[in-house]
Amino acid sequence: MTRMDEETRGRKPAPLHAGLDMVRAQIRQACREAGRDEADVTLIAVSKTHGPEKIRPVLEAGQRVFGENRVQEARDKWPGLREAFAGVRLHLIGPLQTNKVRDAVRLFDVIHTVDRPKLARALAREMEKQGKNLPVFIQVNTGEEPQKAGVPPREADAFIAACRDEYGLNVTGLMCIPPVHEEPALHFALLEKIARRNGLEGLSMGMSGDFETAIRFGATHVRVGSAIFGARN
């Protein structure tokens, strides 16, 4: 049904949001060019640092999947928004300390940043306690940057196996954040290769500057912040 139809039938159409509409159109176009089904790419609207007044219009425009990088910030912002809008899915995309695991499992629906045995074990234990088995992504440090989180590529296969078999986590895919000054395509291709050989379908890759490239390389989840919300302070 078109917006016009909705208007003539007297139903209120979802209000538009310029940033969101632009990103959705770019995703649609990138999928078309890659011969992929748009339904296979989930847009995660990364709302970190932005207050509810900036997030509400994006919710009102129909977006329901959001990403936050800090547990504390999500705890301050999202319970109220979830009450006002049904069907929200919240993804944790930032590093997780084991002492925040309890809140993380309570607040989030998907966790993208599993990258070490201690965290995997703590998550498995906490999910069991809360009667949940949240989908998780394993973060791979494709650029092997010392300051960056993620398991090194050469340790990825063993860690994926341990997360599944030893800890019983619901591993749905891999996530990466390419080094700032390198060609992201190389990192997306590497992540895709590791996922494929481990039988994983989910690929969380691509941000505002490179999500179209990521879609070409098979991204199933793109994490887009500034292209939707504008620059962060």
Ligand X SMILES: *Cc1c(COP(=O)(O)O)cnc(C)c1O
User: Shortest Cβ distance from residue 67 to ligand X (Å)?
Assistant: 7
Residue from 177, 190, 205, 219 that binds ligand X (CB under 6 A)?
Answer: 177
CB atoms within 10 A of CB 75: 15
Does 119 sit near ligand X (CB under 6 A)?
no
CA separation for the pair 47, 225 (Å, rounded): 6
The interface mask with ligand X, positions 71-100, x = CB under 6 A, is: ----------------------xx------
Decide if 97 contacts 65 (C-beta within 8 A).
Answer: no
Please choose, from the candidates 195, 216, 220, 166, the residue with its C-alpha nearest in 3D space to the C-alpha of residue 39: 220
Q: Which is nearer to ligand X, 6 or 58 (CB)?
A: 58
Does 187 sit near ligand X (CB under 6 A)?
no
Q: Which of residues 193-232 bind ligand X (CB under 6 A)?
A: 207-209, 223-227
Q: Which is nearer to ligand X, 13 or 95 (CB)?
A: 95
Q: Which of residues 1-60 bind ligand X (CB under 6 A)?
A: 46, 48
Please choose, from the candidates 223, 43, 18, 31, the residue with its C-alpha nearest in 3D space to the C-alpha of residue 139: 223
Find the residue with minimal CB distance to ligand X.
225
**Which amino acid, one-letter code, is at 80?**
G
CA separation for the pair 30, 35 (Å, rounded): 9
The interface mask with ligand X, positions 134-173, x = CB under 6 A, is: ----------------------------------------
Q: Could you tell me where the DSSP H helices lie in the chain?
A: 3-8, 18-34, 52-60, 71-84, 101-107, 117-129, 153-161, 184-197, 211-216, 226-229
Residues of this chain that bind ligand X (CB under 6 A)? 46, 48, 69, 93-94, 177, 207-209, 223-227
